[in-house]
Structure 1
Amino acid sequence: MGLISTNTSKIDRLAELTAATEHSTGASLWREALRRLRASKMAVIGAVIIGLFVIVAIIGPWVAPYGPIEQTWRGEVFPNQGKFVGARAENWFGLDQLGRDLFSRFLVGARQTLLVGVVSMLIGLVVGAVIGAVSGAAATLGGRSGQRVDSFVMRVTDIMLALPSLLLAVSIAAVMGQSLTTVMIAVGVVQVPIFARLLRGSMLAQGRSDYVLAARSLGIRKRRIVLTQIMPNSLSPVIVQATLSLATAIIEAAALSYLGLGNPDPAVPEWGVMLSSAQRFFDNAPMMSVYPAVGIIITALGFTLLGEAMREALDPKLRG
């Protein structure tokens, strides 16, 4: 009886040492990744762009010189005659077809654009991570039933991946109806299979690691290994993909708004809605389209640069 107790205490102690070693190693890897990010010009540029975008989104409604829905200068604009007011001292970006200040609408619209992008990404991340974790855990734990669960889940995600992302988003938005919430859900659903496949593949790769073999040799239960070891060490590529998906979500949300599937109230400023409204007047007032388009492009570029820099910083093959 005493021998069994001694062996059990040794196994527990070895498991604690293994977990502590993995924790310290993971921490050092994250510190090294942070150091590489600081030294990367691409990461710095991306972070600066994202920082400016977030600041504008937060303070935009308070620093906007005019109300975004106020038609103060409507008498100066004649869309039917092709007469628009361009940039001037009191209206830095000019006026839209209803006499509203474009600069104010641009500032306020940044918040809606950020909200749509972040919420869409979070929907895809949370749902996809749950699906990927279930599939990865089922495949890692083994057993015939686990393999069947993994196979079924992956076939469903393959079907979703086989459909063009924008077509799938448009189909979901068309079924659910025109609203900002619909855009968030539609774009988020498109992101789900990407996160699910990525986390599942990362968990399978971690499942063949030496520390997992060592943990199994100590007699630690597979479920505990999956939850405390494999899962935490599989999240790095998912975090990187979340950054990249933010750029994709912003572009796809703008595309849905451009197609008329976004917010049904065009008075509410959002860069995609602004771009959609301006397309009719592109010949006479092209800058109405240029401002929101440039905002979307630069913001997506910032998230893409930071995401690529994070991918390189966390890639073990690229560490010197």
Structure 2
Amino acid sequence: MSLVSTTSKIDRLAQLTAGTETSSGASLWREAMRRLRRSKPALIGGVVIAAFVLLAVIGPWIAPYSPTDQTWRGEVFSNRGEFVGARAENWFGLDHLGRDVFSRMLVGARQTLLVGVVSMLIGLLVGAVIGLVSGAAATLGGRFGQRIDDLVMRVTDILLALPSLLLAVSVAAVMGQSLTTVMIAVGVVQIPVFARLLRGSMLAQGGSDYVLAARSLGIRKRRIVVTQILPNSLSPVIVQATLSLATAIIEAAALSYLGLGNPDPSVPEWGVMLSQAERFFDNEPMMSMYPAVAIIITALGFTLLGEAMREALDPKLRG
């Protein structure tokens, strides 16, 4: 029996045992896409995310006014000392400096998306590397591998024991106020989540029948880890990445709200806008409602899609 033939049979056995193929021959991802298309939460989440991304991309071009110009500074308050509010030329009204809120919402979507995606990628990439090292060390076995796994997991447990927002605030306070700081701080919070998730998934795959079959054929453990265990362990990590986008957007907005975000308050970002509007909540609550509702709806969209993906990729729920 040739090595190529043996490897192809192991690949086939891995797919069948790990649930990457269905009885009809369709791949797990193809089956998952079919289930997602039938899922109302997935469709709603997908529409929300698509609208958010579209606004983030074209927002600066369709904004009716400059988000930083204080064009209506002298018209913020009416004769009775109240905020002007929504009107024909300013759909969402004016902020306290006479800037068009609708234009700032459109342009601010790009900053919010950028922070969320970059933060998630930092957590995903670093966490995946740590989880891979720990999972491979535990799967390969040996005293040295066990020590590496124990050390990595104890550090991860320490990070997980800290409240996520408190950890993000601590990192941001140490690094200083900037948009890059917010991305790194939120990304650090995501690292232990991805690390432990990938490590646990690899350990679960390590006891599968296809791994035992590969070992019995004399295939090296390192090759089994890289070519079989790791690819079959990525589904929950991809789902978590979608869910982490929602968390990253909320935590980034929280850091901006606390004054740890972009030091230039004129740059529109939903968290910064919420922080600025909080002082005027009693007089003009809608100025706070616009960014708050936008953050909630966007986070809800990612959450709905992530939960739908989790159900679609779960072999126990396939029918």
User: Does 2:75 match 1:66?
Assistant: no
Q: Counterparts of 1:75 and 1:243 in 2: how far apart (Å)?
A: 44
Amino acid corresponding to residue 33 of structure 1 in structure 2: A
Tell me the C-alpha RMSD between the 2 structures. Answer: 1.4
Q: Counterparts of 1:167 and 1:96 in 2: how far apart (Å)?
A: 30
Q: 1:82: how far off? A: 4.8
User: Does 2:259 match 1:267?
Assistant: no
Q: Counterparts of 1:308 and 1:153 in 2: how far apart (Å)?
A: 28
Q: Counterparts of 1:37 and 1:250 in 2: how far apart (Å)?
A: 23
Match of 1:166 in 2: 165
Contact 2:13 2:210 in 1 (8 A): no
Q: 1:18: how far off? A: 2.1
Match of 1:176 in 2: 175
Amino acid corresponding to residue 211 of structure 2 in structure 1: V
The unaligned stretches of length 5 or more in structure 1 are 1-8
Amino acid corresponding to residue 135 of structure 1 in structure 2: S
Match of 1:13 in 2: 5
Match of 1:212 in 2: 211
Q: 1:16: how far off? A: 2.1
Partner of 1:260, secondary structure, is coil
> Taking structure 1 as the reference length, what is the TM-score of the superposition?
0.95
Distance 1:82 1:282, change over 3 A: farther
Q: 1:254: how far off? A: 0.3
Identity %: 82
Q: Counterparts of 1:14 and 1:262 in 2: how far apart (Å)?
A: 55
Amino acid corresponding to residue 64 of structure 1 in structure 2: A
Q: Counterparts of 1:15 and 1:29 in 2: how far apart (Å)?
A: 21
User: Does 2:215 match 1:223?
Assistant: no
Partner of 2:2, secondary structure, is helix
Q: Counterparts of 2:137 and 2:186 in 1: how far apart (Å)?
A: 27
User: Does 2:303 match 1:304?
Assistant: yes
Q: 1:20: how far off? A: 4.6
User: Does 2:317 match 1:318?
Assistant: yes
Match of 2:246 in 1: 247
Contact 1:82 1:284 in 2 (8 A): no
Amino acid corresponding to residue 14 of structure 1 in structure 2: T
Q: Counterparts of 1:248 and 1:56 in 2: how far apart (Å)?
A: 20
Q: 1:21: how far off? A: 5.4
Q: 1:155: how far off? A: 0.1
> Taking structure 2 as the reference length, what is the TM-score of the superposition?
0.95
Q: Counterparts of 1:82 and 1:213 in 2: how far apart (Å)?
A: 77
Number of aligned positions between the proteins = 311
Q: Counterparts of 1:288 and 1:11 in 2: how far apart (Å)?
A: 67
